[in-house]
Structure 1
Amino acid sequence: MFRLWGKLWKDNRLIKDTVICDDSKDSRTHKIFRGLEEICYEFDLENPIWLDNVISDFKRHSRARFYQDSFIEQITFDYLEIQVIEED
Structure 2
Amino acid sequence: MFRIWAKMIKDNHLLRDIVIEDDSTERTRTKKIFHALDEVCHEFDLSKPLWLEVTIKDFKKHDKTRFFQDNFIEQIEFDYLEIHVIEED
TM-score where L is the length of structure 2: 0.98
Q: What RMSD over aligned residues (CA atoms) do the two structures have, in Å? A: 0.4
Structure 2 residue 81 is matched with structure 1 residue 80: yes
CA distance in 2, matches of 1:41, 1:5: 15
Q: CA deviation at 1:8?
A: 0.1
* Structure 1 runs not aligned, ≥5 long: none
Q: How many residues are paired up?
A: 88
Deviations 1:12-38 (CA, angstroms, capped at 9, x unpaired):
011100000000111100000000000
The code of the aligned residue for 2:67 comes to: F
Identity %: 62
* Structure 2 runs not aligned, ≥5 long: none
The code of the aligned residue for 1:59 comes to: K
CA distance in 2, matches of 1:81, 1:74: 17
